[in-house]
Every structure is written in C-alpha cells, then in structure tokens.
Amino acid sequence: MYIWSIALYGCETWTLTQNDRARLEAFEMWCWRRMKGISWMERKTNEEVLRMVEERRTILNTIDARRGNMIGHLIRHDDFFKTILEEKIEGKRGRGRPRRSYIDQIKEKVGVASYQEKHNHL
C-alpha cells in the first residue's frame, strides 16, 4: 500500500511521544475508513472497521520493526555512528528537561540499559 510508505518515510529516526503514537493510530484508522468508504456518521467503532477490512493495527509495529533494522545496521558500523548514537556532542546543553532521545526509546523497547547489550544479543 503506497499510503504507508509515504506516511512512514523516515520513521526509523523519529522519536515518538504518546501524542504522536495516538495520532499515528488515528491516521491508520482514518485510512482504513476512507478505503472502505465508511463515514464517521455511521458510528462504527475502530474494532468493527478493522474486522471489516480483516486487518489489525500495524502502523506502530511497522515503525518499531523499521527502527530495529536501522539500529542494528548502525551498531554494526564504525565508531562514527556510535558517537552520534551516544550523543557525545560538545557544547552546552539547553535549558529545561532534555528531550527523550532516539536511543532511549530503542533501549526501552528492547529492555536493555545500553545499546551495547542489544548488540551482544544480536
């Protein structure tokens, strides 16, 4: 389906918040409804729509799979990519709470404390 490839372009590098995840799931359901021609006035639940198209919610799983493939690719390469992943950048840190980083989301998803542990599990 062309819609997914366009909508998920570059998703391997996204850092998703809960709001982003909710919006992606809403977009996925909007696409299924549009493809089946289901108006919001028909008051069909998301589960009913998914049964009609004989699908499950897959957009977040697709993003996680693509992200896993990319992180595996980056870890197998030289130290330049590891420096980028570890965020060892000189300079002052900005004010406020640090944003949630890409590597933090990967570590949380896999359930390890560092990306080296994941590399050892591969």
Per-domain residue ranges for the chain? 16-57, 61-90+97-121
Burial profile 89-103: b = 16 or more Cβ within 10 angstroms, e = fewer: eeeeeeeeeeeeebb
CA distance 102 to 80: 16
Average pLDDT over residues 23-43: 91
pLDDT for the residue 85: 64
CA distance 108 to 30: 29
| Interval 58-90: pLDDT, tens | 899 999 889 888 877 777 776 766 666 666 667
How sure is the predictor about 47, in pLDDT bands with cuts at 50, 70 and 90? very high
pLDDT for the residue 51: 92
Q: Measured between alpha carbons, how far apart are the two ends of the chain, in Å?
A: 30
Mean pLDDT (the chain, rounded): 81
Contacts of 77 (CB under 8 A, 6+ apart): none
Q: Strands (DSSP E) along 18-117, which ranges?
A: none
CA distance 114 to 47: 37
pLDDT(93) > 90? no
Indicate the SS3 state at residue 95.
coil
pLDDT for the residue 1: 61
The region of weakest confidence among 9-23, 56-70, 99-113 is 99-113
pLDDT(26) > 90? yes
